[in-house]
Amino acid sequence: MAETLGMLCDKLTIVQLKQFHTEDENRLASLVGQSLQLQQEIDEYIADAIEGKILPERMSFAANKVFKKEGNIVEAVKGNFGEVFLQLANVNCKLWHEQEKVYEFEKVPIEEKDKVVKQLALLNLERNNCIDALNEKLILLIKPKNN
């Protein structure tokens, strides 16, 4: 299994954003199907983790992020599952809107271009931190039951 809980939650938030930003009926129907599938995968993943079918060391995927920490401060990830999931949804929403600027980058004033690129990088770091936090929370919840 290559997916983790955090990755599945990330995908679900992105599908929801796509639903919110489209009016095409065919695309909406497809996205509803994707949303239901992802919800089912999340439920099955958690059930499998609780039953010990997924080893804790397979519940995370080391991203091995290498970045300059100085000057790249992102919002701390804290709270319970729901709070972290909400932070992930919020950061993906911010990412969506920042990415929209890139699609018409030639319209971004020169003095703003560096800010857009920097913001994308910081939001992606925060997004990855949220994904990792969801994975770690599940591992901490499951580990005592599997030992």
- Could you report the per-residue pLDDT of 77-100, keeping only the tens digit for each? 999 999 999 999 999 999 999 999
Q: What is the mean pLDDT of residues 117-122?
A: 92
Binned at pLDDT 50, 70 and 90, residue 71 comes out as confident
The amino acid present at 92, given as its one-letter code, is N
pLDDT at 64: 60
- How far apart are the C-alpha atoms of 52 and 58, rounded to whole Å? 11
Span of 42-46, 92-96, 121-125 with lowest mean pLDDT: 121-125
pLDDT at 74: 83
- Could you report the per-residue pLDDT of 104-119, keeping only the tens digit for each? 999 999 999 999 999 9
DSSP-assigned states of every residue in 10-53? HHHHHHHHHHHT---HHHHHHHHHHHHHHHHHHHHHHHHHHTTS
Q: Which two tokens stand for residue 5?
A: 């809980």
**Rounded to two decimals, what is the model's pTM?**
0.88
pLDDT for residue 145 is more than 70:
no
Query: What end-to-end distance do the CA atoms of the chain give, in Å?
Result: 21
pLDDT at 23: 95
Q: What is the mean pLDDT of residues 15-42?
A: 96
